[in-house]
């Protein structure tokens, strides 16, 4: 316990930054991923190609390389100067959006084709059909995989520790510099992530129960 109590300030600051990184990148990736899913099921071939290309490239690129690009390569383009923290947010959001896209698309594919055909028969546009008919039904079926994607995002925030962004991934280094027991420090870090994951799991269970009753 002494490792935790003697460094409580460090743990709180580190996990606070982790939560901030997670919350912002989660919102951004959910929005972007849903838009990409819409592109992937679009009747316009060009839009489908854009969505497919994005997902193919980002899903098959290691997250570390995405970080390397935005932290080291992007500044060389001299387009817009961004901090390491902003670069981490962008890298996490763009990377996770590819996985969110596939989760949402799988949910869209579970909606019976007749729903889309009926919407078109009523004169709804593709956007209206997707937003008002298909997506509300699709999102109900993707709660478990989406929760898994968000849990992966939470753990992926530790990658930012290698790119000058202070968060939970830096605790080991900070403890080593102070001469504290790193092993027990890492155990507390693991416990901290378990505590952060529990609310996500609880939210998943609540939504699953509520929507199963609605069905």
Q: Which domain holds residue 83?
A: 2-214
Q: Tell me: pLDDT of 66 over 60.
A: yes
What is the DSSP annotation of 115-134? HHHHHHHTT--HHHHIIIII
End-to-end Cα, the chain, rounded Å:
47
Average pLDDT of the segment spanning 147-162: 87
Give the per-residue pLDDT at 52: 92
| Rounded Cα–Cα distance for residues 188 and 69 (Å) | 31
Coil, strand or helix at 61:
coil
Give the per-residue pLDDT at 53: 94
Give the per-residue pLDDT at 213: 45
| Rounded Cα–Cα distance for residues 93 and 27 (Å) | 8
| Rounded Cα–Cα distance for residues 7 and 110 (Å) | 49
Give the per-residue pLDDT at 141: 80
- Give the tokens for residue 118: 């009926």
pLDDT digits (tens, 9 = 90+) for 77-100: 877 788 888 989 999 999 999 999
Q: Which of 142, 64, 71, 136 is nearest to 100 (CA)?
A: 142
pLDDT digits (tens, 9 = 90+) for 189-212: 788 888 888 888 888 888 777 765
**Average confidence score pLDDT of the chain:** 83
Q: What is the pTM of this model?
A: 0.85
Give percent above pLDDT 70 in the chain: 90
- CA distances (Å), origin 142, targets 41, 107, 129, 194: 16, 6, 19, 22
Q: Tell me: pLDDT of 107 over 90.
A: no
CB 168 within 8 A of CB 189: yes
Which CATH number covers residue 147?
1.10.3720.10
Total number of domains in the chain: 1
Q: Tell me: pLDDT of 137 over 90.
A: no
- Give the tokens for residue 110: 């579970």
| Rounded Cα–Cα distance for residues 62 and 7 (Å) | 33
Q: Tell me: pLDDT of 142 over 60.
A: yes
Q: Which of 69, 58, 148, 68 is nearest to 106 (CA)?
A: 148
Listed in sequence order, the residues at least 6 apart from 176 whose beta carbon sits closer than 8 Å to its beta carbon are 182
Give the per-residue pLDDT at 3: 66
Per-residue 3-state assignment (H helix, E strand, C coil) for 132-164: HHHHHHHHHHCHHHHHHHHHHHHHHHHHHHHHC
Higher pLDDT, 141 or 93: 93
pLDDT digits (tens, 9 = 90+) for 6-58: 666 777 888 888 889 999 999 999 999 999 998 998 888 999 999 999 999 99
């Amino acid at each position: 316990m002494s490792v935790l109590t003697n460094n409580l300030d460090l743990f709180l600051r580190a996990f606070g930054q982790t939560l901030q990184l997670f919350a912002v990148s989660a919102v951004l990736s959910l929005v972007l991923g849903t838009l990409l899913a819409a592109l992937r099921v679009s009747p316009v071939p060009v839009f489908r190609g854009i969505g497919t290309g994005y997902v193919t490239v980002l899903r098959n690129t290691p997250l570390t390389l995405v970080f390397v690009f935005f932290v080291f390569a992007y500044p060389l383009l001299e387009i817009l100067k961004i901090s390491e923290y902003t670069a981490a947010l962008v890298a996490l959001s763009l990377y996770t959006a590819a996985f969110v896209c596939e989760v949402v698309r799988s949910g869209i594919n579970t909606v019976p084709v007749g729903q889309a055909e009926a919407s078109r028969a009523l004169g709804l546009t593709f956007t209206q059909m997707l937003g008002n008919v298909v997506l509300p039904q699709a999102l109900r079926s993707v709660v478990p995989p989406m929760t898994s994607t968000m849990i992966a995002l939470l753990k992926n925030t530790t990658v930012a520790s290698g790119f000058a962004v202070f968060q939970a991934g830096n605790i080991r280094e900070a403890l080593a510099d102070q001469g504290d027991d790193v092993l027990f420090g890492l155990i507390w870090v693991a416990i901290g992530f378990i505590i952060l994951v529990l609310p996500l799991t609880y939210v998943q269970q609540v939504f699953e129960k509520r929507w199963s009753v609605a069905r």
